[in-house]
Amino acid sequence: MKITGNKLYQRVAASITEAIEAGRWSPGSRLPGERDLAEEYKVSRPTIREAMIALEMKGWIEARHGSGLYVTRRDHGSGERADALNFDVGAFDLTEARILFEGEAVALAAVSITDEQIEELEAILHDMGADDSDEPAVMDADHRFHLAIANATGNAAIRSVVEYLWELRTKSPLAANMFARAKRGGITPRVEEHRPILDSLKARDPHAARNAMRRHLRGVVDDLLEATELEAMERARSEIDARRNSVAQRLRIGSA
């Protein structure tokens, strides 16, 4: 199935809601797996993941203890669907945009950065690694690191674009939800992921800086995929633990 429309994850989500309303998947039925949906809609796994999270946030589907995603209801009203699924950008689309913009921004910064700005970045990395258990401080250092690079380009428009992309992490409900899932999975910015970027800037090497930034941000995509998969695994483990406890209680009754 080939789909057209607005944002890709929204088009997939809207198509799935149409299929639910048409009776393809009835309430209580299990949706196909992620890979099957990606093949059917001819999109990537990250796009399917964003569509599923959007549908889950609006109550169309629910995850059941790691066994999969299930339809919760079908009658949402024909006027609700378009607005209800408009969650702006998801974390994968946002990070893809950052790969493009910040990759080029850091390349420009590499040929214009000052010694003082490099010292600032060193101090920020020190703050990031000072106490990795202080999650708000680590996130703040991550934000400051990337904005300092944008500022080092000497281009106010580039800095504004990078700042806007960072604001979307919290202003877009879908992106905020996905990054929150990553935090619950224990995924936070790491100094070792940022060090190659700074080393390339010190060397004033735009090509190395671009590649280092892109590697870092592609790692963010991998982390987001892992975080949402870990949530499913945790649900599965919870289900197994509950069954194990139930069996243990029954055995105790039988041996009493």
User: Cα(256)–Cα(253) distance, rounded to whole angstroms?
Assistant: 5
Class of domain 91-231: mainly alpha
Q: Could you confirm whether domain 8-77 is CATH 1.10.10.10?
A: yes
pTM: 0.67
Q: Greater confidence, 30 or 67?
A: 30
In the structure, what pLDDT confidence band is assigned to residue 64 with cuts at 50, 70 and 90?
Answer: confident
pLDDT at 201: 98
- Give the phi and the psi of residue 84 in degrees, each rounded to 5: -65, -30
Tell me: pLDDT of 169 over 90.
Answer: no
Using an 8 Å Cβ cutoff, are 58 and 9 in contact?
no
64-73, 87-96, 236-245: range with lowest mean pLDDT: 236-245
Name 61's bridge partners: 71
What is the tens place of the pLDDT at every residue in 187-242? 777 889 999 999 999 999 999 999 999 999 999 888 888 776 755 545 544 544 55
User: Cα(242)–Cα(246) distance, rounded to whole angstroms?
Assistant: 6
Any idea where the domains of the chain sit in the sequence?
8-77, 91-231
